[in-house]
């Protein structure tokens, strides 16, 4: 990234953040609990999960404490300030070019030595730094003793022990922020003699450069000795040899000295349970079996646990629809309300239990720490497709929402792997498709409905893999990213955190129901009511029937075709469209949903589901593909490819199914 660009960004922020706010950046290794602290400080409910790389963009929240207003900035996790992937760069660039008033370096009490490395790098760069040692609850349980006073004395900066989990120390952290915002501290720790000499030599020549007067020359010198590419370019000085190993060693030496008196590890081996669990879930043979068993369980549970609730909600909406229909005297208005709005939106709301249970299951996988293990187990397979376990993790997230899986690719450091993952993300079966699967499966596959749905999920994974392989072969010649990944310790998810996760993700579905799905339902009702008031001669039928010949080889009815068209807005709209086009009993000429079963055969129905899975992604996903890949070209590639294959496979399904039945 060029410097002028970053400066522009700094100016932009300057206009957004009023100067009376004290800006505080939360920086730290991945998965140490930065977002959890952010939530505790600001009362926000940002996405928290137990794997490295959850936060990919900076998030801003406000906190009032004492007589001050603070603007807290949650940053993506990073191991060093010499970052490579996009998310890490966000953290680095923010720190360097937008220079917040305070920096809280968040570290992990269970893993203090390693996480202090970043603190030292920050101290080299600037002052006004607070050290927060988080997860102190876990450390206490493990018998680890940390003397924060001693640490603070040696480092010369405030040190706070916190737990975002129990709330311990949060008050102290606020207090420390208030204090330092009033006074300001800048400390330097010293490298060994020979490195210090090099630093001061470089510093004096850097001081002569006018254009660098905004930078700390000591920091620039250190970065030059480490051969940081950006700083080499910025200063135009080449110090020759690479001292990065030397400097890294000195930092760890310093940390060792620091922790000698202030940190006592326990005799207890907290890895024991982890090791036992990992022994099973990453086992040679069991590992893959466990993975499929877990996935099967997730989708089985999603389908069967939700069913009673689904039925209940459905009955509720039916009763409501009937009541409105009876009590509204104007026929067209009654139909709009009962068939369009209540029928359309209700058809989607019916699936809220399924969606929430799906998110709950995904939440358990994310919060326990299983996700990176799945990535670890599968990495070799991905590698042969020139991807990595990391991109597999992104794909798994796509079961919730394709947009979040596309966003999460920012943690993938190799551009080619990242683009391929973005391109294939739409083929992972997201939660919005689930209502369509359930609706169609329960009509056509009876007892085998759960299996039918699971097979769609398996198919979606296999198809995604195959497409990745194809795109890699056709479009790219790069190499996969190196898959340097930390496996977090397992954590027992709390009810509260699971509820929060489920609500955060599921809420989006409800919002969609109230906006885009509601709007689409009204449009569909209007199109199926006008101009004649008879659905068979309505605009919707004209639209559907004009395109229906195209889909005749697949066996789709004109109602299905119309529903597919509107499904471009959001996949759930397919459900509301079908329900209005088939189910709205008060529209004259309407055949009713049961007739769908007599119009098409189960193989056609399954073909339809495959078509729904693969044909074009929803608007939100398209926008995400465009933004993250940076080009419409990739949108076209994935959309046309998806449509083509969707058609082909629906046809094949019908032909094969027809041959057997």
Ligand X SMILES: Nc1nc2c(ncn2[C@@H]2O[C@H](COP(=O)(O)OP(=O)(O)OP(=O)(O)O)[C@@H](O)[C@H]2O)c(=O)[nH]1
Residues in touch with ligand X (CB under 6 A):
28, 30-36, 48-50, 52-55, 76-77, 134-135, 137-138, 163-165, 367, 491, 497
Of 26-34, 381-389, 502-510, 653-661, which segment contacts Mg ion by CB under 5 A?
A: 26-34
Buried b vs exposed e over 364-381: b needs ≥16 C-beta within 10 Å? bbbbbbbbbbbbbbbbee
Binding Mg ion by CB under 5 A: which of 29, 35, 441, 577?
Answer: 35
Of 343-351, 354-362, 480-488, 607-615, which segment contacts other proteins by CB under 8 A?
A: 480-488
CB atoms within 10 A of CB 349: 24
Of 93-101, 241-249, 465-473, 610-618, which segment contacts other proteins by CB under 8 A?
A: 241-249
Q: In a 10 Å sphere around its CB, with 0-12 CB exposed, 13-18 middle and 19+ buried, how is residue 140 labelled?
A: middle
Q: Is 109 in the site for other proteins (CB under 8 A)?
A: no
The CB-of-76 to ligand X minimum distance in angstroms stands at 6
Q: Which does 486 bind (CB under 5 to 8 A by kind): Mg ion, other proteins, ligand X, none?
A: other proteins
- Given a contact cutoff of 8 angstroms between Cβ atoms, the answer to whether 302 and 190 are in contact is no
Q: Is 591 in the site for other proteins (CB under 8 A)?
A: no
DSSP 8-state code for residue 588: T
Q: Which does 138 bind (CB under 5 to 8 A by kind): ligand X, Mg ion, other proteins, none?
A: ligand X
DSSP string for residues in 27-48: EESTTSSHHHHHHHHH------
Which residue's CB atom is positioned nearest to ligand X?
77
The CB-of-374 to other proteins minimum distance in angstroms stands at 11
Cis peptide before 531 (omega within 30 of 0): yes
Written as six digits, the tokens of 8 are 């522009």
Place of tokens 């991109």: 391
Contacts by 491-498, CB closer than 8 A, 24 or more apart: 491/50, 491/367, 491/368, 491/369, 492/368, 493/50, 493/363, 493/364, 493/367, 493/368, 494/165, 497/48, 497/363, 497/367, 498/360, 498/363, 498/364, 498/367
Q: Is 32 in the site for Mg ion (CB under 5 A)?
A: no
CA 409 to chain centre: 9
Q: Is 117 in the site for other proteins (CB under 8 A)?
A: yes
Query: What does the per-residue mask of binding to other proteins show for 288-307, with x meaning CB under 8 A?
Result: x-------------------
Residue 51 or 376: which CB sits closer to Mg ion? 51
Query: What does the per-residue mask of binding to other proteins show for 264-293, with x meaning CB under 8 A?
Result: -------x--xx--xx--xxxx-xx-----
Strands lying side by side in the sheet with 102-108: 59-65, 68-74, 21-28, 102-108, 129-134, 159-161
Q: Is 249 in the site for other proteins (CB under 8 A)?
A: yes
Written as six digits, the tokens of 448 are 């085998």
The CB-of-80 to other proteins minimum distance in angstroms stands at 4
Residue 28 or 346: which CB sits closer to ligand X? 28
Query: What does the per-residue mask of binding to other proteins show for 325-364, with x meaning CB under 8 A?
Result: ----------------------------------------
DSSP β-ladder status, 68-74 and 59-65: antiparallel
Binding Mg ion by CB under 5 A: which of 40, 54, 220, 535?
Answer: 54
DSSP β-ladder status, 159-161 and 102-108: unpaired
Residues that bind other proteins (CB under 8 A): 29, 78-80, 82, 84, 110-111, 113-114, 117-118, 226-227, 229, 242, 244-245, 248-249, 252, 271, 274-275, 278-279, 282-285, 287-288, 372, 376-377, 379-381, 383, 389, 482-487
């Amino acid at each position: 990234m060029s410097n002028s660009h970053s400066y522009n960004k700094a100016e932009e922020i300057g206009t957004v953040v009023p100067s009376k706010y004290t800006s505080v950046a939360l920086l730290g290794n991945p998965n140490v609990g930065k977002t959890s602290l952010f939530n505790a400080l600001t009362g926000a409910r940002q996405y928290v999960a137990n794997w490295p790389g959850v936060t990919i963009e900076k998030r801003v929240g406000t906190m009032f404490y004492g007589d001050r207003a603070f603007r807290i900035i949650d940053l993506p996790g990073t191991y060093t300030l010499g970052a490579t992937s996009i998310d890490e760069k966000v953290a680095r660039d923010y720190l360097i070019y937008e220079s917040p008033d305070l920096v809280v370096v968040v570290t992990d009490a269970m893993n203090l030595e390693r996480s202090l490395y970043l603190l030292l790098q920050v101290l080299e760069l600037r002052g006004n730094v607070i050290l927060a040692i988080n997860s102190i609850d876990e450390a206490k349980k493990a018998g680890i003793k940390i003397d924060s006073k001693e640490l603070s004395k040696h480092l010369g900066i405030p040190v706070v022990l916190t737990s975002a989990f129990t709330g311990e120390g949060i008050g102290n952290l606020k207090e420390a922020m208030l204090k330092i915002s009033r006074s300001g501290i800048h400390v330097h720790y010293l490298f060994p003699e020979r490195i210090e000499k090099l630093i001061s030599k470089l510093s004096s020549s850097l001081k002569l450069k006018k254009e660098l007067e905004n930078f700390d020359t000591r920091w620039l010198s250190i970065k030059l000795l480490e051969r940081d590419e950006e700083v080499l370019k910025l200063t135009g000085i080449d110090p020759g040899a690479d001292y990065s190993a030397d400097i890294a060693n000195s930092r760890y030496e310093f940390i060792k000295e620091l922790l000698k008196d202030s940190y006592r590890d326990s005799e207890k081996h907290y890895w024991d349970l982890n090791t036992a669990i990992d022994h099973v879930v990453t086992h040679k043979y069991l590992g893959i079996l466990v993975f499929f068993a877990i996935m099967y369980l997730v989708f089985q549970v999603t389908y069967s646990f939700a069913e009673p609730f689904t039925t209940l909600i459905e009955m509720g909406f039916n009763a409501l629809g009937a009541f409105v229909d009876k009590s509204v005297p104007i026929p067209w208005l009654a139909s709009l309300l009962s068939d369009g709005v209540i029928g359309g939106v209700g058809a989607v709301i019916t699936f809220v239990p399924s969606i929430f249970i799906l998110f709950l299951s995904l939440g358990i996988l994310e919060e326990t720490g299983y996700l990176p293990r799945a990535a670890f187990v599968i990495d070799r397979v991905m590698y042969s497709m020139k991807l990595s376990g990391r991109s597999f993790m992104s794909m798994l997230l796509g079961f919730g929402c394709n947009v979040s899986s596309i966003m999460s690719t920012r943690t993938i450091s190799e551009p080619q792997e990242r683009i391929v993952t973005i391109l294939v993300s739409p083929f992972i079966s997201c939660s919005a498709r689930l209502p369509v699967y359930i609706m169609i499966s329960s009509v056509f596959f009876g007892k085998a409905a759960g299996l039918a749905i699971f097979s769609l999920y398996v198919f979606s994974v296999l198809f995604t893999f195959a497409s990745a392989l194809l795109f890699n072969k056709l479009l790219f010649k790069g190499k996969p990213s190196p898959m340097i990944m930390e496996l977090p310790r397992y954590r027992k998810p709390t009810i509260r955190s699971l509820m929060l996760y489920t609500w955060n993700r599921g809420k989006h579905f409800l919002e969609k129901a109230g906006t885009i799905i509601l709007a689409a339902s009204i449009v569909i009702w209007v199109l199926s009511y006008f101009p004649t008031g008879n659905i068979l001669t309505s605009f919707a039928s004209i639209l559907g029937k004009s395109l229906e010949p195209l889909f005749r080889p697949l066996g789709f009815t004109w109602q299905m075709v119309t529903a597919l068209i509107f499904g471009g807005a959001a996949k759930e709209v397919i459900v509301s469209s079908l329900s209005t086009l088939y189910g709205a009993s008060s529209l004259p000429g309407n055949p009713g949903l049961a007739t769908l079963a007599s119009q098409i055969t189960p193989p056609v129905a399954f073909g339809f589901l495959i078509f729904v899975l693969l044909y074009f992604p929803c608007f939100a996903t398209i926008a995400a593909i465009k933004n993250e890949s940076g080009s419409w070209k990739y949108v076209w590639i994935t959309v046309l490819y998806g449509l083509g294959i969707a058609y082909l496979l629906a046809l094949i399904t019908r032909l094969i199914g027809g041959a057997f039945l």
